[in-house]
Chains A and B, each alone.
Chain A
Amino acid sequence: MSKFRKDDGKGLPPISTASLPDIVFMLLFFFMVSTTMREVTLNVNIKLPEATELSKLEKKSLVSYIYVGEPKKQFQTTFGVAPRIQLNDQWANVGDIQDYVIAEREARDEAEQKFMITSLKIDENTKMGIVTDIKQELRKSAALHINYSSRRKVER
């Protein structure tokens, strides 16, 4: 089996695997940087409604979120099962929305402020009463560009 004998001077030397860790580390760093961990812990259960006419939220930095839904099991003893509003990590009332919008606006560059979008993540079983109240508050604080967060409807 002289064909497979090593060091006979004719065959190519084996490819060095010494640089393999470097390549893998490079990939690793890419994924570590591009991964966005969820920064908000949801205290409410949200099942998004379905829609077909979707558009994407491209600039994440310009989006502020409002969550509405039934409180999770561990909060139900304190807050009951009626849908509640969550802004960032805190429970909120309809009256807190204006302050929240202003705070979010202050945190952005002045040039970017007019492109801000408010994404409403609302459970599909919520009653419209609370949603209408939120919309009125958003209008009062001049955050007119909104996005009803929804899932893509699967064609049947």
Chain B
Amino acid sequence: MARKTPEIPGSSLADIAFMLLIFFLVTTTMDVDSGLERKLPQWQEDQVEDDSQIKERNVFVVLVNRDNNLLVEGDVIRIEDLRERAKEFMANPYNEDNLPEKVLEEVPFFGPVEITKGVISLRNDNDTKYGTYLAVTNELVGAINELREELSKSKFGKSYDKLETEEQKAIRTVIPSKISEAEPKGKNI
């Protein structure tokens, strides 16, 4: 009998597989895309400016100019201070005259409760940087989220994220998120 051809060693198979495994381990990115979630308003064909219905004290005007400066209710402020201002406006803890009115409403879990009529109005220039715009929106959304979190802690004793759907809905009713973005100017004029 002629000499047998030697068998291919199978012991290195594991090494090859390990190498491939390590390659995929390194290249895999398990990152989840995250971002600031917003809902756009419905598109309306004839854009009616319906500001007359809302009283001046109920509107929190935020203007961002082309140099990325912030004008809030007539004051020039920094982005870092915006969250406090927005919280104060939406909560109006001492029922002051220059802050928004409240209406009494029946809400499940809460009973009759005063709900603010405040609306945040955000207007920016065409030359505003997107980064600034997002930072401002982030602060405004953050202010409302913080108020909801505080209410949730004091009412249910746990974080807003951990509440039942019905309870979250009640909190959303008590602290509404009314951020209106102005229609772009200079289109129909």
The contact string, 1 if C-beta is below 8 Å from chain A, for chain B 26-46, is 011110111111111111000
B130's partner among A28, A60, A124, A145 (CB-CB below 8 A) is A124
User: Closest chain A residue to B184 by CB distance?
Assistant: A132
User: Closest chain B residue to A138 by CB distance?
Assistant: B40
Partner-B contacts on A (CB < 8 A): 17, 20-21, 24-25, 27-28, 31-32, 34-36, 49-58, 60, 63, 117, 119-120, 122-129, 131-133, 135-136, 138-140, 142-150, 152
User: Closest chain A residue to B40 by CB distance?
Assistant: A144
Cα–Cα distance between A132 and B40 once the two chains are bound (Å): 11
User: Closest chain A residue to B183 by CB distance?
Assistant: A136
Q: A119-B33, A147-B36 are in contact. Are A128 and B127 (CB under 8 A)?
A: yes
B20, CB-defined interface residue at 8 Å: yes
Interfacial residues of chain B within 1-58, with CB under 8 A of chain A in the complex? 10-11, 13-14, 17-18, 20-21, 24-25, 27-30, 32-43
Contact B21 A51 (CB under 8 A): no
Question: Which residues of B are found within 8 Å of A52, using beta-carbon distances?
Answer: 138, 142
Question: Which residues of A are found within 8 Å of B40, using beta-carbon distances?
Answer: 135, 138-139, 143-146
B141, CB-defined interface residue at 8 Å: yes
Q: How many residues of B contact A (CB 8 A)?
A: 43
Min CB–CB distance B25 → chain A (angstroms) = 6
Min CB–CB distance A47 → chain B (angstroms) = 9
Enumerate 7 A-B pairs (CB-CB under 8 Å) in ascending A order: A21-B14, A53-B36, A117-B37, A124-B131, A142-B43, A144-B42, A145-B39
B180, CB-defined interface residue at 8 Å: no
Partner-A contacts on B (CB < 8 A): 10-11, 13-14, 17-18, 20-21, 24-25, 27-30, 32-43, 124-131, 133-135, 137-138, 141-142, 145, 184
Q: Is the interface of B mostly helix, strand, loop or mixed?
A: mixed
List 4 tightest A-B contacts by C-beta distance, closest first: A124-B131, A129-B126, A31-B24, A149-B35
Cα–Cα distance between A37 and B39 once the two chains are bound (Å): 29
Question: Which residues of B are found within 8 Å of A34, using beta-carbon distances?
Answer: 28, 30
Cα–Cα distance between A126 and B129 once the two chains are bound (Å): 6
Contact B21 A128 (CB under 8 A): no
Question: Which residues of A are found within 8 Å of B24, using beta-carbon distances?
Answer: 28, 31-32, 35
Cα–Cα distance between A57 and B138 once the two chains are bound (Å): 17
Contact A51 B41 (CB under 8 A): no
Min CB–CB distance B60 → chain A (angstroms) = 18
Contact B35 A51 (CB under 8 A): yes
Contact B34 A150 (CB under 8 A): yes
Question: Which residues of A are found within 8 Å of B129, using beta-carbon distances?
Answer: 124-128
Cα–Cα distance between A122 and B132 once the two chains are bound (Å): 12
Question: Which residues of B are found within 8 Å of A152, using beta-carbon distances?
Answer: 34
B32's partner among A57, A132, A144 (CB-CB below 8 A) is A57
Q: A55-B35, A56-B34 are in contact. Are A132 and B21 (CB under 8 A)?
A: no
Given contacts A57-B32, A128-B126, A142-B43, 9 further A-B contacts (CB under 8 A): A31-B28, A49-B130, A49-B134, A54-B34, A56-B33, A124-B131, A127-B129, A139-B40, A140-B43
Min CB–CB distance A37 → chain B (angstroms) = 8
